[in-house]
A = this chain, B = another copy of it.
Amino acid sequence: MTQRGVRRASGRIAIGVDLGGTRIRAAVVSEEGQIRYRLEQPTRVEEGASSVMQRLLSLIRDTISGSPLERHEIIGIGIGSAGQIDPWSGTVLSATPNLPGWGGTPLAEHVREAFDLPVRVDNDANVAAWGEKQFGAGLGVDHLICITIGTGIGGGVIVNGQLYHGAVGVAGEIGHLTVNLDGPPCNCGSFGCLEAYAAGPAIVARALEAVMEGTKTALIQMTDNRPEDITVPLIAQAAAEGDPLASRVMQQTGYYIGVGLAGLVNVLNPERIVIGGGVAQAGDSLLQPIEMTVRARAMPVATEALQVVPARLGEDAGVIGAAALLF
């Protein structure tokens, strides 16, 4: 049944791969953006780049052989990788800190040689944005900003209906917009970047600080009175359930994200902003302050028709968007 379904639905099927610092995911994706089969593996970056490459290749091989597909039905392989990518050659330009030792890897070339199929590689946040644009919350929108908030903050910019890459391919680093020129140091080496204010570690630190000051919160019970176990998903869950401290932390986070996005709205005048990543699970407690801040701070002409919406594809944005690079 499944096999016939695959064949009937579309002539075009691609393999989508999401290569992150923790996990490698691979999926068989139809031209309609449906996942037909999937596998995943831990990345194990500590074993070194060539070991990760072997694991990546065998995961792709297993995905192809395990899926109800004939090899000739696959039009190609798309990969969204952590780091900064040259999307034209499919080479990793820089991948610290997530994939140490991957800088300079001709990723597309290796995969192409192994499978003799067309291969496209792009940055993971760009690929997630492309997935949302093609099959998710950005469907039909030609001027789109997608922001992905997790351990770091990534983004993808859709311009005139296409993913925008810039001069050397590394456009879209929305997490490294400045929100405060004298702000805290950022992983990128600069100061006061949006990422330093609103990514996972900053959110946890803000919650932890309030807990240490003695603020009452459901997070204490949720962690069995071990505040060092507080995580972003827990804060997001507590906020969604109405916990005042967690809500305040999310509101503050949303404010910072809104400040960064407001400036970008003035420069890029998008039609829609899609908010994704694990933190977005906090729902309205995060989305509302983002939207309010963008509307309060960006120019009215640019926000009149602007929509701020949650991502739709969740963790599948990576594999779906990667496959969609081929369609």
Contact B190 A298, beta carbon cutoff 8 Å? yes
A168 and B301 in contact, given A178-B178, A178-B262, A262-B190 (Cβ under 8 angstroms): yes
Q: How far is the CB of A295 from chain B (nearest CB, A)?
A: 11
Q: Which 4 A-B pairs have the closest CB atoms?
A: A166-B269, A167-B271, A177-B263, A171-B269
A256 to B165 Cα, complex, angstroms? 26
Q: Is A259 an interface residue (CB 8 A)?
A: yes
0 or 1 for each of A220-262: is its CB under 8 Å from B? (1 = yes): 0000000000000000000000000000000000001001101
Q: Residue A174 contacts which of B159, B267, B305 (CB distance < 8 angstroms)?
A: B267
Say which one of A12-20, A28-36, A55-63, A180-188 lies at the interface with B: A180-188
Contact A173 B94, beta carbon cutoff 8 Å? no
Q: Is A310 an interface residue (CB 8 A)?
A: no
Q: How far is the CB of A286 from chain B (nearest CB, A)?
A: 17
Q: How far is the CB of A181 from chain B (nearest CB, A)?
A: 5
Q: How far is the CB of A272 from chain B (nearest CB, A)?
A: 8
Contact B297 A168, beta carbon cutoff 8 Å? no
- Contacting residues, chain B, for A178 (C-beta < 8 A): 177-179, 259-260, 262-263, 297
Q: Is A211 an interface residue (CB 8 A)?
A: no
Contact A166 B179, beta carbon cutoff 8 Å? no
Contact B94 A270, beta carbon cutoff 8 Å? no
A263 and B168 in contact, given A190-B297, A299-B84, A301-B94 (Cβ under 8 angstroms): no
Q: How far is the CB of A103 from chain B (nearest CB, A)?
A: 10
Using CB atoms, name the residue of chain B closest to A296.
B190
Contact B269 A170, beta carbon cutoff 8 Å? yes
Q: Residue A166 contacts which of B167, B170, B173, B270 (CB distance < 8 angstroms)?
A: B270
A173 and B271 in contact, given A84-B301, A159-B164, A166-B143 (Cβ under 8 angstroms): no
* CB proximity to B under 8 Å, residues A163-214: 164-174, 176-182, 188-191, 193
Known interface pairs A94-B301, A168-B305, A176-B298; 5 further A-B residue pairs with C-beta atoms within 8 A, sorted by A's residue number: A160-B160, A164-B268, A170-B269, A171-B267, A176-B266
